[in-house]
Structure 1
Amino acid sequence: MCGIVAWYSQSTGPELVETGREMLSRIVHRGPDDSGQTLVGERTWLGHNRLSIVGLEDGAQPLEGPRGWAMVCNGEIYNDAQLRESLSGFRFGTGSDNESALALLALHGPRALDRLQGMWALCAATPDGRFIAARDRLGIKPLYWAKVGDTHLFASEMRAFSLDVQHAVAAFPPGCWWTPEDGLVRFAEAVTPAEVRADAVEQRTRDVLVDSIRRHLMADVEVGVFLSGGLDSSIVAAVAADEYARRGARLKTFSVGTTGSPDLAAAREAAEFLGTEHHEAVFDAAQAIDALEDVIASVESYDAGLIRSAVPNWFLAELAARHVKAVLTGEGADELFAGYGYYHEQHPAPGELRRELERTVGLLHGLNLQRCDRVTMAHGLEARVPFLDTAVVTHAMSLPDEVKLLGEDGIEKSHLRRAFTGWLPDSVLWRRKLEFGTGSGAQDLLTPYWERQVSDDDLAVARADTDTQVRSKEELAYYRAFRRALPEIRPHSVLTRFALA
């Protein structure tokens, strides 16, 4: 995992090399282990800050390949071993999983990128002026870009861009690649459903998840699990703990909350049942308020729901980073298996639920995945999301709506719970859904605080500003902190701004 920066220009100058170096320095937190850069021909510069997870000894970037190709990549390629077997015409020089992405580009061009299974964003170039930028189908790993004159700038975070460029920054769209010749081209959709047989559906759901979780443990370092005590993270912990036991090792799990919060209690119960080495971070109101500026600057958002969950995530990542360099999380399960109450309240008609799930899966890159990536990488920690593996997404989105409806007792994700019967204590397996900001206790600290601190008049003035679009006093407070961190970013322009070719 890492942070990447690149630029491509039709008319380069020496000052652009310094621009790249300055951008790279602003995201050094994403890769504290190493840093590398290279000028590729006259039109491209590539920079990389590295967090070493796979290929510890020989995985430094930029990576070099045949025909002058050079590449920087942020992410993990989980089918690296299979790709290496199939790409017999490429001489691999490192143990880095990212090199399989470079091999695909060098041998088959950007149209082969749909063969990559994992989370990634990359920029690559050759000395003769070829250049490509691309991002995984779900946008699990971040990438932003800006066009200034005849120069395109790319970076893992918005904060990398200087103030005079921030007005032009946009999110690079997931599932797309860009070249100067072809423009922006989509190579993969977020959701590609397949047919699922009606028999043994729960067994197949369990099998596909177990396989994904085990593959996401691929690393040359120890991997832990964020364990909230909710269904999704507990399933991940259960499978990971079983895999670590097979290796003769003990899984490390991490939970967070205020004193007496329900998440802490449930996580302890799950950890004891699974026999993990469990660690806790406990925070109070003063600590939560003190951390807000750093959290908002890191997450690069002011959405109140996102920040309420990002605050406990901040303390959780800080704790985990003292013990491991990578963690698995339960992100994406609610969007795949209809875990949120509004899915069932607002989309009860046949077909409606599927369409809404597809919509929200497609938006994850600008919401929960953004929070997950930024908060962990702020502490030099890699977060992996096994529920969002391509095979899991394809399976889950192929299930009929009926499988995802509320159970007779009104509880959500009954299908997923039944699939993992026996893997967890029933009190955890059938624990009702609580938003992370609620279960950790963060909402009870933050929302009342800002209700007292922000006046009704301030909120009325902010709501009259069509560029601000805040929904509450709490969100107004977060918007002000967002503005201090990124004064020139247009908050609602960091969705895709460039048309697809």
Structure 2
Amino acid sequence: MCGFVSIVTDETYNLSISSTLNKMTEIIKHRGPDECRTWEDDHIYLGFQRLSIIDLEKGHQPFSFDGGDYHIVFNGEIYNYIELRQKLIDMGIVLTTKSDTEVIIALYKEVGSQVVEYLRGMFSFVIWNKKANTLFGARDPFGIKPFYYIEENDRLYCASEKKSLMLIDGVSFEIDQESLHHYLTFQYVPEPKTLLNPISILKPGHTIEKKLGEKCIINEYANMQFKLTKDSTAAKIKIIRETLEDSVSMHMRSDVPVGTFLSGGIDSTIIAALAKEINPDIKAFTVGFERDGYSEIPLAQETASQMNLNHFCKIITPEEFMNELPKITWHMDGPVADPAAIPLYFVAREAKKHVKVVLSGEGADEIFGGYNIYREPNSLRIFDYMPNSIKKILKNAFSRLSEGTKGKSFVYRGCTPLVERYFGNAHIFNEQEKEFILQVYNPNFSSDLITKPFYREAELYDDITKMQYIDMHTWLRGDILVKADRMTMANSLEARVPFLDKEVIKIGSQLTVNEKIRNKTTKYLLREAFKDTIPEPTKNRVKLGFPVPIKHWLKSEMYDWAKTIIKESDTNQYINKENSLNMLEKHRKGEIDYSRRLWTIIIFMLWHQIFVEQKYNFNVNTIDFKPKLQGKKVS
């Protein structure tokens, strides 16, 4: 796990570009504090911050191959690199390291852009082909690792984090109004846009190619599809177990210590159980809060005790939460208003004290049908037999009821087609609410611009699988994996996600609805596959995620803090502060639970203070964080 920067330009060597490269590389030191290196040549500039995991002695980057004709910077891990390396050696190719980096570039020399088809892992990388004067970049099929870029005139800038690109001289940045609209709906900005123009994100499963003198070409090489099969349940249970055992074994490959996150749910418990079979002394890490009902520590402790795990826990206080939030927001790069990012930051900080790599359970819910919301199509089945004319009457009648009225939400959802009600796992502000909270609301930026293309692609799926498809292409890549990468990297810790392995995905995509959701049980077949492995109390626990008590804190400990941020942020041109403060008051009085909507506003304002208003300087440990970006302003 590391961080890279690359600049390719039509012009020959330029000293000012070299200076920019150094600044862009230094600002992501947290991603790889073990080593910083750069390499420059006519037309190409590469920077790298290394977190040493594989081949500690020789796996340096930027890495040159074949007499200097090929150069690479690579962030991620290729879990089948040992097998690929042996195949290359069998072909007569001479390799000088035992690193997965060399495997990628050697394979690229042989097969070109098809290299991505061979890789099993998480990756973003850039390869400079000196012979062809071409830069080739790629991002893994699921979007586990980030890849930001700017194409500006005759230059292409690529980086692991957006903040590197904000240091480019001569580029003007401005907030993208459409992205702000979508952020308020989804609590993140959907790819390929970011909140700042002209920065874009290379979408998962895509490659980017830049030949000197030509514009970039972006191609898709992979896209998640569900291919339901009617194989016997027993056969699927067997293959689920075998495939996950293999995936965890692959993900344990490392030249440094590996640990695991542990919550009270089955995903992390399955991974911990399989990892313990490989390393009986593996360490597990959990965080929680003092408030009842908002801590997974007791559940995790019970699980760890029964599994005889070496377990470490930490309680997060409201004061720590607020004090660390500016730094967390800086590390997040763009605003992501998922409160679960904060405990993830703290658990990563605890894990870093003991290990350099952790296994985590991201992706299991999207693949195996784990979110409680996926039970909704079954619970709303009664409306399937109701004429559309009756649904319309009911929907109009119940829409007039005040928010929070019992039954209003149920009837609204039952009378609304899936494509009009499900925008992914988080749906914060609807269009009417955005008109209320935005200073300038544009109806042309409605949420369905993001989701309708995916609904068209998933047209033949059942409603539950459609919901999974939406989440795989929005929520997973825009929220779940972003916070997993940024919060672990903030602590120079590598996170690996065994559920998001292409072999595991292949099996999960074949499950029928009844094998994912059965009665009220989510992830039914996954639970069946490991029922003899995980402790009894864990088997049927309802999913909690990372519960965070912001609902309560915004009424008490965090009330004054939130009010100050809303009042002091220079966001009047974007957000209606009067309406925001009214929401805060109603929430404090207990009239309406506005916690998630308030949190979305607050995170945007805090992000704005850091990256636009530039109110914060960071000097944390020995790393110099400078969100002021040396005086550059965002318009």
What TM-score, normalized by structure 2, do the two folds share?
0.71
Q: Which position in structure 1 is the counterpart of 2:397?
A: none
The answer to whether the 8 A contact 2:266-2:534 is kept is: no
Equivalent position amino acid for 1:395 in 2? I
Once residues 419 and 171 of structure 1 are traced to their aligned partners in structure 2, the CA distance between those partners, rounded to angstroms, is 37
Once residues 466 and 306 of structure 2 are traced to their aligned partners in structure 1, the CA distance between those partners, rounded to angstroms, is 37
1:143-154 alignment runs, 5 A limit: 143-154=147-158
Equivalent position amino acid for 2:61 in 1? Q
What per-residue deviation string (whole Å, max 9, x for no partner) do you get for residues 189-210 of structure 1? 2346475622422222111111
Q: 1:404 to 1:148 in 2, by over 3 A?
A: same
The answer to whether the 8 A contact 1:454-1:473 is kept is: no
Aligned length: 475
Once residues 126 and 60 of structure 2 are traced to their aligned partners in structure 1, the CA distance between those partners, rounded to angstroms, is 15
1:189 aligned to 214, 223, 240, which one? 223
Once residues 77 and 178 of structure 1 are traced to their aligned partners in structure 2, the CA distance between those partners, rounded to angstroms, is 19
Shift of 1:59: 0.5
Tell me the secondary structure at the aligned position of residue 206 of structure 1: helix
Q: Which position in structure 1 is the counterpart of 2:479?
A: 367
Tell me whether 1:168 sits opposite 2:198 in the alignment.
Answer: yes
The answer to whether the 8 A contact 1:455-1:473 is kept is: no
1:103-122 alignment runs, 5 A limit: 103-122=106-125
Q: 1:59 to 1:43 in 2, by over 3 A?
A: same
Moved more, 278-287 or 258-267: 258-267
Q: Which position in structure 2 is the counterpart of 1:26?
A: 27
Q: State the identity as a percent.
A: 31
Once residues 372 and 75 of structure 1 are traced to their aligned partners in structure 2, the CA distance between those partners, rounded to angstroms, is 13
What per-residue deviation string (whole Å, max 9, x for no partner) do you get for residues 61-112 of structure 1? 1111126101010000011011112222421111111221111211110123
Equivalent position amino acid for 1:132 in 2? F
Shift of 1:397: 1.2
The answer to whether the 8 A contact 2:228-2:512 is kept is: no
Once residues 314 and 480 of structure 1 are traced to their aligned partners in structure 2, the CA distance between those partners, rounded to angstroms, is 20
Q: Which position in structure 1 is the counterpart of 2:364?
A: 333
Shift of 1:483: 1.3
Equivalent position amino acid for 1:215 in 2? M
- Runs of at least 5 residues in structure 1 that lack an aligned partner in the other structure: 490-501
Once residues 72 and 293 of structure 1 are traced to their aligned partners in structure 2, the CA distance between those partners, rounded to angstroms, is 30
The answer to whether the 8 A contact 1:358-1:397 is kept is: no
Tell me the secondary structure at the aligned position of residue 353 of structure 1: helix
Tell me whether 1:38 sits opposite 2:39 in the alignment.
Answer: yes
Q: Which position in structure 2 is the counterpart of 1:268?
A: 301
What per-residue deviation string (whole Å, max 9, x for no partner) do you get for residues 316-339 of structure 1? 111000100000000011111121
Moved more, 352-361 or 17-26: 352-361
The answer to whether the 8 A contact 1:257-1:442 is kept is: no
Shift of 1:457: 9.4
Q: Which position in structure 1 is the counterpart of 2:127?
A: 124
What per-residue deviation string (whole Å, max 9, x for no partner) do you get for residues 450-475 of structure 1? 5663399979985559xx9x972222
Equivalent position amino acid for 1:414 in 2? Y
- Runs of at least 5 residues in structure 2 that lack an aligned partner in the other structure: 174-196, 382-460, 581-593, 615-635
Once residues 464 and 140 of structure 1 are traced to their aligned partners in structure 2, the CA distance between those partners, rounded to angstroms, is 35
Once residues 443 and 375 of structure 1 are traced to their aligned partners in structure 2, the CA distance between those partners, rounded to angstroms, is 22
Equivalent position amino acid for 1:190 in 2? M
Equivalent position amino acid for 1:98 in 2? T
For the pair shown, the structure with the greater C-alpha radius of gyration is 2
Tell me the secondary structure at the aligned position of residue 5 of structure 1: strand
Moved more, 92-101 or 443-452: 443-452
Once residues 155 and 328 of structure 1 are traced to their aligned partners in structure 2, the CA distance between those partners, rounded to angstroms, is 25
Tell me whether 1:179 sits opposite 2:209 in the alignment.
Answer: yes
The answer to whether the 8 A contact 1:451-1:473 is kept is: no
Tell me the secondary structure at the aligned position of residue 296 of structure 2: helix
Q: Which position in structure 1 is the counterpart of 2:430?
A: none
Tell me the secondary structure at the aligned position of residue 387 of structure 1: coil
What per-residue deviation string (whole Å, max 9, x for no partner) do you get for residues 247-292 of structure 1? xxx0100000113544000110111111111111111111111111
Q: 1:318 to 1:165 in 2, by over 3 A?
A: farther
Moved more, 57-66 or 347-356: 347-356
Q: 1:301 to 1:456 in 2, by over 3 A?
A: closer
Equivalent position amino acid for 1:142 in 2? P
The answer to whether the 8 A contact 1:273-1:424 is kept is: no
Tell me whether 1:424 sits opposite 2:534 in the alignment.
Answer: yes
What per-residue deviation string (whole Å, max 9, x for no partner) do you get for residues 432-462 of structure 1? 1113134xx5664457655663399979985
Moved more, 180-189 or 345-354: 345-354
Equivalent position amino acid for 1:415 in 2? L
Tell me the secondary structure at the aligned position of residue 547 of structure 2: helix
1:279 aligned to 304, 312, 316, which one? 312
Q: Which position in structure 2 is the counterpart of 1:454?
A: 563
Equivalent position amino acid for 1:90 in 2? I
The answer to whether the 8 A contact 1:450-1:477 is kept is: no
